[in-house]
Amino acid sequence: MFYVVDSDREVSPQLAASVWQQLWELRDITPINALLPAGVVSPCPLLADEVAEAVYMPTLSLVPCDSAWVSSELDLMHYASEHGELRMTQLEAALRDCVRAGEQCHDKAEWANSSMSRDSLMNRRLSILVRGWGDLVRRRNDNPVFLPVLGELEQLAHRIEAILVDASREIAIRVGYCPAIDAAGARVQRHGREMAERWQRAVRNNALRHRNLLTLSPWDVFPQHDEADSRYMNLLPLIRCANSVSFLREVRITHWNVIEFRSFYERVGAILRRSRDATLIAKQV
């Protein structure tokens, strides 16, 4: 069972407090999970953001209805030295392997219905869940309240996404780009020859094989399998780098109270809303 907590809805303070109290009491009772409204975005500027109304179980992500996803998981700590220095060559190879393996899985998968089969053909969605962000900060002995620490993680996330994008583009060059791009282009090219030429130029420069790539969980800003240290909440803006947001949790929060629990979700919700509003400004291609 999933509770989608939409803080944009106006309810009485008494009802809100009652709901949060119930969610807090149910926090570790599986399969009950609290989720937040989250759109799904694409690293390809030719593809629009999407409304997420269904739950993708492997990552506990909100996704479009009848969308077809192939998921994989990668832990940064497998590529970190004892001092937290990342072996980027090995990490990059693993990320590229995730993209290649995901592409193959789309070719072989047997989807639950025809809508998912069509979505797989059109969008080639991947959910590559990169974890271990809080663990990396702790191993480096960095203070999560310092803004430069967040900046370093965001730079790493952008570098990871760039690797995934490059791997997707390589496949697109070899076997063709995501067919959803042509569906989007059909609407643009109706506006005359000049727009059609601009669109084709944009496709050559930006087209990818996969509509979605990188998944992040806000719970992963905490060191895993330990009690959640509230200082690490300062790293939550990292989730702005994600194409899709997971709510998998492998950190203990039994020492929190309902106020801290609600504060976490409200902070995550505010970040997701700001990200959603920011994407209303279209990228120029």
* Lowest-confidence pick of 25-34, 88-97, 147-156, 268-277: 25-34
Q: How far is the CA of 215 from the CAs of 58, 87, 122, 220, 223, in angstroms?
A: 12, 21, 20, 11, 18
In a domain, 285, yes or no: no
Distance from C-alpha of 160 to C-alpha of 157, rounded to nearest angstrom: 5
Distance from C-alpha of 185 to C-alpha of 261, rounded to nearest angstrom: 44
Total domains, the chain = 1
Model confidence at 274: pLDDT above 80: no
Could you tell me if 222 and 232 are in contact, meaning their C-beta atoms sit under 8 angstroms apart? yes
Q: Which domain holds residue 112?
A: 2-278
In a domain, 283, yes or no: no
Q: List Cβ neighbours of 167 (8 Å cut-off, separation of 6 or more).
A: 95, 96, 99, 100
Span 247-274, average pLDDT: 91
In a domain, 131, yes or no: yes
pLDDT tens across 190-217, in order?
777 887 788 888 899 999 999 999 999 9
Share of the chain above pLDDT 90, in %: 70
- Return the pLDDT at 4: 66
Pairing relationship of beta strands 54-56 and 61-63 according to DSSP bridges: antiparallel
In a domain, 125, yes or no: yes
- Return the pLDDT at 281: 42
pLDDT tens across 169-187, in order?
999 999 999 999 998 887 7
In a domain, 284, yes or no: no
In a domain, 129, yes or no: yes
- Return the pLDDT at 30: 58
> Burial of 189 by CB count in 10 Å (0-12 exposed, 13-18 middle, 19+ buried)?
middle
- Return the pLDDT at 1: 54
pLDDT tens across 98-141, in order?
999 999 999 999 999 999 999 999 999 999 999 999 999 999 99
Distance of CA 55 to the CA centre of its chain: 13
